[in-house]
Amino acid sequence: MHAIHSPFASPSLINRCSTTDKSCRLRSSSLTLTIVLGCLLLYKRSMGEGEGNGLAFAEGLKPAAGMVLVQIVFAGVNLFYKLAINDGMDLSVLVAYRYLFATVSLAPFAFFLERKIRPRLTLNILMQTFFCALFGGTLTQHFYLTSIKLTSATFTAAMANLVPAVTFVLAIVFRLENLRINKRSGQAKLLGTLVGFFGAMVLTFFKGKELQFLPGVDLLKPQSNAGVRMASLQHHSSSQVLGSIFAVGSCLCYSIWLIIQAKLSKAYPCHYSSTALMCLMGSIQAVVFAFCMGSKREQWRMDFGIRLVSVTYSGVVGSGLIVSLLAWCVKKKGPVYASVFNPLMLVIVAIFGSLLLNEKLYIGSVIGALLIVVGLYFVLWGEGKEGETAEEKVEELPKKREAIEVVVERSSTKLQCAGAPKHACPAEKLGEKTESNNEDEEKGICNS
């Protein structure tokens, strides 16, 4: 733990923390723990029957606890991103190192776990993986990091909740999904999309009064010229608008990745192998992009500090190990269940961003974030209702196979030959020939 905090914590900074600040941090940590426990108890009923059974209760808590851990890890990725950018790390270099570390951590799982079931790579699969890496990795991360640089980690985490709404719009545009405006599920998804985009507008253009209820330390003391420029950029209103554009662009690229990834999963159903290949292509794309943008050689030097900690955490933990846990939760409970926990990351980032990064919260930010979360749940509710409707239609199908009576009728040739002479019946002649042939074969075998 000392090695992790040593790059950005100094004795003078720690000594400036008063007793009041420590008590505030203790209260906020208790608030975070309360929120986590509340989420676990909220999904108690989703664990199936047998509430009185302690073993069943613990078994049902595993998906909820796993999703809480996923959101905590993703919140940590946002905070480490902010610290690395404040230290002056190039965005392209950060993305390249993240996916390189993710590739190294995922390669053993892909090799040993999917060695016998991995299908043959085709040109179509490689092209789909390339575009998955481009939209889901390179472009999404560059836009996301640029938004964090221009605004704040809390702002970008709030805008990330627009992904379901943007995906819904793209699915309609590409005719992958019908609007179903006459049904309640379609109306809920449309209303949630509109509410989410309205919340994004409020989050971007309306600030209001500043909220000061979580005093803490400031780990974003400018440690380089880039940190000073980033601190000056965030005070301009134009940076807020530009940062929101990059955040929406990140959501758009991520939604396109979801559509391509759905097709890739059907053609190449090996999760670890496809993810490792996508991370490898994403790292190559990020390296090429970094050299095209004129990154200096000094930017690639990784001394032990906040830069190395950030890329290791985001690559190995954020993109490597946590992917398997997320995939397991989706397999157990479904994608809608996993998406419900996304706003938890926003709460965690907002709390620790105020405590550790000195990020300021405004009334407009809180209202906009709440509207985005409300819109998210409207869209997820519509998705859930459509899933229930599809299951009901499947259950309505006849479960028992109908008995089909098969009647085999004898050929009328036998009946017609009953009253006819023996030499006039073709069936009898055929039988006589067959019997004579069999007798000849038996004689030949005995003679040999």
**Which amino acid makes up residue 193?**
T
Q: How many CB atoms lie within 10 A of CB 46?
A: 12
Work out the angle at residue 374's Cα, subtended by the Cα atoms of residues 250 and 39, and round it to the nearest 5 degrees: 95
- Of the CA atoms within 13 Å of residue 238, those in its CB half-sphere come to 2
* pTM over the 0.75 mark: no
Residue 218 β-bridge partners: 357
Q: Copy the structure tokens of residue 19.
A: 């007793």
251, 135 in Cβ contact below 8 A?
Answer: no
pLDDT tens sequence across 28-71:
455 445 554 555 454 444 444 444 455 665 676 788 888 889 88
370, 199 in Cβ contact below 8 A?
Answer: yes
| Secondary structure (DSSP) of 156-201 | HHHHGGGHHHHHHHHHHHTTSS---TTSHHHHHHHHHHHHHHHHHH
Phi–psi pair at 408, nearest 5 degrees? -105, 115
Nearby residues of 371 by Cβ (< 8 Å), 6 or more positions away:
195, 196, 198, 199, 202, 203
Mean per-residue pLDDT, 149-172: 85
Give the separation between CA 232 and CA 350, rounded to whole angstroms. Answer: 21
Rounded to whole angstroms, what are the CA distances from 272 to 119, 130, 314?
Answer: 13, 16, 17
Alpha-helical runs (H) found in 293-404: 306-312, 322-333, 335-339, 342-356, 363-396
Q: Copy the structure tokens of residue 378.
A: 């409207």
Q: Copy the structure tokens of residue 157.
A: 């985490």
- Is residue 135 very low, low, confident or very high in pLDDT (cuts 50, 70, 90)? very high
Winning range, highest mean pLDDT, from 8-12, 198-202, 387-391: 198-202
Q: pLDDT higher for 279 or 437?
A: 279
Least confident of 285-289, 326-330, 395-399: 395-399
**Which amino acid makes up residue 426?**
P
Mean per-residue pLDDT, 212-241: 58
Give the separation between CA 399 and CA 13, rounded to whole angstroms. Answer: 69
Give the separation between CA 225 and CA 355, rounded to whole angstroms. Answer: 24
pLDDT tens sequence across 201-219:
888 788 788 877 555 566 6
Mean per-residue pLDDT, 113-142: 90
Q: Can you give the pLDDT at residue 125?
A: 92
**Which amino acid makes up residue 336?**
V
Q: Can you give the pLDDT at residue 142?
A: 92
Residue 371: pLDDT above 70? yes
Residue 223: pLDDT above 60? no
Mean per-residue pLDDT, 231-246: 71
Q: pLDDT higher for 327 or 84?
A: 84
Give the separation between CA 335 and CA 327, rounded to whole angstroms. Answer: 9
Give the separation between CA 197 and CA 321, rounded to whole angstroms. Answer: 32
Give the separation between CA 249 and CA 145, rounded to whole angstroms. Answer: 11
Q: Can you give the pLDDT at residue 398?
A: 55
74, 344 in Cβ contact below 8 A?
Answer: no
